[in-house]
Structure 1
Amino acid sequence: MDVIIKNGIIITALETYKADIGIKNGKIVTIASKLDDSSAEIIDASGKYVLPGAIDGHTHLQMPFGGTVSSDSYEAGTRAAACGGTTTVFDFAIQQKGHGLIQTAKERDALCAPQACVDYAFHVVITDLRPEILDEFQDSVNFGVPSFKVFMVYKKEGLMADDGMLYSVLKKSKEVGAILAVHAENPDLIDIRTEKFLKEGKTSAWYHYLSRPEFVEAEADKRAIHWAKQLDAPLYIVHLANKEGMEEVKKARDEGYEIYAETCPQYLYFTNEVFKREDGRNFVCSPPMKGQESQDALWKGIKTGDIATIATDHCPFQSYEKDWGKDDFTKIPNGCAGIENMYPYMLSEANKGRLSFNKVVEICSTNPAKIYGCAPQKGSITIGGDADIVIYDPTKEFTISQNNMHSDSDHTIWEGVKLKGYPFMTFSRGKLVYKDGEFLGKPGWGKFLRRKRK
Structure 2
Amino acid sequence: MLDLIIEGGIVVTANDRFLCDIGVKDGKIVEMAVNLDKEAKEVVDATGKLVLPGALDVHTHMAMPFGGTIVADSYLSGTRAAACGGVTTIFDYPVQRKGGTIMDLINSKKAVLEKEACVDWASHCIITDFNDGQILEEMEEAVKEGITSYKCFMVYKKAGMMVDDGMFATLLLRAKELGALVNVHAENSDMIDYFEAKFKREGKLSPWYHYLARQEFVEAEADKRALHWCKHLDAPLYIVHMADKEGLEACIEGKKEGVPIYIETCPQYLEFTCDVYKREDGRNFVCSPPIKGEESRQALWEAIKKNQVDVVATDHCPFQSYEKDWGIDDFTKIPNGCAGVENIYPYMLDAANSGKITFSQAVALCSTNPARIFGCDKKGAVRVGNDADIVIYDRDKDFTISVNNMHSDYDHTIWEGKKLHGYPVKTFLRGQLVYDNGDFVGKPGMGRFVKRVPRS
Q: TM-score, normalised by structure 1?
A: 0.99
What's the counterpart of residue 330 of structure 1?
332
Shift, 1:139, TM fit: 1.2
CA RMSD of aligned residues (A): 0.8
Is this contact kept in 1: 2:178–2:454, CA < 8 A?
no
What letter corresponds to residue 27 of structure 1 in structure 2? Answer: K
Is this contact kept in 1: 2:4–2:43, CA < 8 A?
yes
What letter corresponds to residue 385 of structure 1 in structure 2? Answer: N
Q: Is the partner of 1:299 in helix, strand or coil?
A: helix
Indicate the percent of aligned positions where both proteins have the same amino acid.
60
How far apart, CA to CA, are the structure 2 residues paired with 1:353 and 1:305? Answer: 15
Shift, 1:247, TM fit: 0.7
What letter corresponds to residue 321 of structure 2 in structure 1? Answer: S
Shift, 1:68, TM fit: 0.3
What's the counterpart of residue 56 of structure 1?
57
Q: Is the partner of 1:104 in helix, strand or coil?
A: helix
Q: Is the partner of 1:392 in helix, strand or coil?
A: strand
What's the counterpart of residue 92 of structure 2?
91
Is this contact kept in 2: 1:115–1:444, CA < 8 A?
yes
What letter corresponds to residue 237 of structure 1 in structure 2? Answer: I
Deviations 1:114-156 (A, max 9, x none): 1000000000100111312111221111110010000110111
Equivalent of 2:304 in 295, 302, 315: 302
Q: Note closer, same or farther for the CA distance 1:221–1:34 as it changes in structure 2 (3 Å cut).
A: same
Q: Which range moved further: 104-113 or 186-195?
A: 104-113
Shift, 1:110, TM fit: 1.4
Q: Residues 263-274 of structure 1: matches in 2 within 5 Å?
A: 263-274=265-276
How far apart, CA to CA, are the structure 1 residues paired with 2:68 and 2:134? Answer: 31
Q: Is the partner of 1:222 in helix, strand or coil?
A: helix
How far apart, CA to CA, are the structure 1 residues paired with 2:37 and 2:339? Answer: 41
How far apart, CA to CA, are the structure 2 residues paired with 1:176 and 1:124? Answer: 15
What letter corresponds to residue 339 of structure 1 in structure 2? Answer: V
What's the counterpart of residue 141 of structure 1?
143
Aligned length: 453
1:45 aligns with 2:46: yes
Is this contact kept in 2: 1:371–1:453, CA < 8 A?
no
What letter corresponds to residue 89 of structure 2 in structure 1? Answer: T
What's the counterpart of residue 241 of structure 2?
239
What letter corresponds to residue 425 of structure 1 in structure 2? Answer: K
Q: Is the partner of 1:13 in helix, strand or coil?
A: coil
What's the counterpart of residue 445 of structure 2?
444
How far apart, CA to CA, are the structure 1 residues paired with 2:134 and 2:197? Answer: 37
How far apart, CA to CA, are the structure 2 residues paired with 1:85 and 1:133? Answer: 35
What's the counterpart of residue 161 of structure 1?
163
Shift, 1:102, TM fit: 1.6
Is this contact kept in 1: 2:5–2:40, CA < 8 A?
no
Is this contact kept in 2: 1:152–1:161, CA < 8 A?
yes
Deviations 1:9-36 (A, max 9, x none): 0001011000100001110000000113
How far apart, CA to CA, are the structure 1 residues paired with 2:104 and 2:154? Answer: 23
Is this contact kept in 2: 1:263–1:311, CA < 8 A?
yes
What's the counterpart of residue 118 of structure 1?
119
Q: Is the partner of 2:172 in helix, strand or coil?
A: helix
1:230 aligns with 2:227: no
Is this contact kept in 2: 1:241–1:294, CA < 8 A?
yes
Long gaps (5+) in structure 1: none
Q: Residues 372-387 of structure 1: matches in 2 within 5 Å?
A: 372-375=374-377, 377-387=378-388
How far apart, CA to CA, are the structure 2 residues paired with 1:306 and 1:352? Answer: 20
1:353 aligns with 2:364: no
Is this contact kept in 1: 2:75–2:116, CA < 8 A?
yes
How far apart, CA to CA, are the structure 2 residues paired with 1:115 and 1:90? Answer: 14
What letter corresponds to residue 323 of structure 1 in structure 2? Answer: D
| Stretches (4+) displaced over 2 A | 36-40
Is this contact kept in 2: 1:171–1:233, CA < 8 A?
yes
Deviations 1:391-440 (A, max 9, x none): 00000011000110000011110000000100000000000000100000
Q: Is the partner of 1:113 in helix, strand or coil?
A: helix
What letter corresponds to residue 403 of structure 2 in structure 1? Answer: Q
What letter corresponds to residue 310 of structure 2 in structure 1? Answer: A
Q: TM-score, normalised by structure 2?
A: 0.98
